[in-house]
Amino acid sequence: MRRSVLVTGATSGVGRGTALRLAKAGFEVFATARDAEKAEKLRAEAAERDVVLRTVLLDVADAASCHRACAQVAEATGGGPWALVNNAGIPLAGAIEDLDDAAVRYLLEVNVVGAARMARLLLPGMRRRGDGRIVNVSSLAGRVAAPGMGWYCAGKSALGAVNDVLRMEAGPGGVRVVIVEAGAYASAMQTRAADALAALAANGRTVFGEMYRVAEAALRESATRLPDDGPVVAAVCRALFADRPRHRYVVGRQARMGLLADALVPVRVKDHVKRVALGAEAHPVVEYAARRWCTPW
């Protein structure tokens, strides 16, 4: 019997790559999309690659939509999928004091609550089988905070905490819970974050205008030199292919170096480097290194 996997946020980026690769590897893939047009495009791309996957309409920020999607997959699989890949996520760029409650709540609903809700809805079926897997796709931002990205970092940090607790709570029932933490890679998220920073800089009411302009330029420039999402897709698939997956996959040199530096460098020094990197401060000696190693993620 083929193992089934539900992949959220599957119409672009890591989710799309994961869904197509798993389908090629022989998994029964349920790929989620927010609207029918995107779902049709994904099915067409799968057909071009001579693989088969099913699409499911899902908005992870909508509880009713989550219930409908999980019920649909449970019916198709006779009790629910073997695995869940929580990939759906959105960016939110801007200083803490410049972002309103509605934007923050939506970010947390998509990036944290939605992921936890999907796990909660699918865990009973996994427990009944005594076997299952949940892979949460996160970011270096979950463990290394940066100015101008505070709420995004907070959301990824919260997802990491949810992941760790789920690992302990679900493990005795035969469900392995894994987190994939990636450094920066080229994606549409960076363009959306850059556009948001440009809008914040243009409103004229912020004290962080220069920081936004520098960070926006760094985000747009990074798209020309950052690696693609292939290594992240590969890590997600390894977490599903392995009989005994790691608890955590850290992907990319930037992520590994960033975690090491954040652990070893004194707080005053790393705070200064991050402020320089994002244009909140100027320092000619550290500016190049700061922008080379601390491009906003």
Looking at the annotation, which residues are catalytic? 152
Rounded to whole angstroms, how far apart are CA atoms 115 and 35? 19
Rounded to whole angstroms, how far apart are CA atoms 250 and 255? 7
The number of CA neighbours under 13 Å toward the Cβ of 268 is 0
265 is written with which tokens?
Answer: 């460098």
CB 275 within 8 A of CB 147: yes
Q: Residue 110 in 3-state DSSP?
A: helix
Backbone angles phi, psi at 7, to 5 degrees: -115, 120
Rounded to whole angstroms, how far apart are CA atoms 22 and 62? 26
Question: Beta 4-7 vs 28-33: how paired, if at all?
Answer: parallel
CB 242 within 8 A of CB 176: no
Rounded to whole angstroms, how far apart are CA atoms 227 and 230? 8
Q: What is the DSSP letter of 137?
A: E
Amino acid at 20: L
Rounded to whole angstroms, how far apart are CA atoms 2 and 25? 10
21 is written with which tokens?
Answer: 């690769």
Rounded to whole angstroms, how far apart are CA atoms 119 and 126? 10
Token look-up 């699989």 returns 77
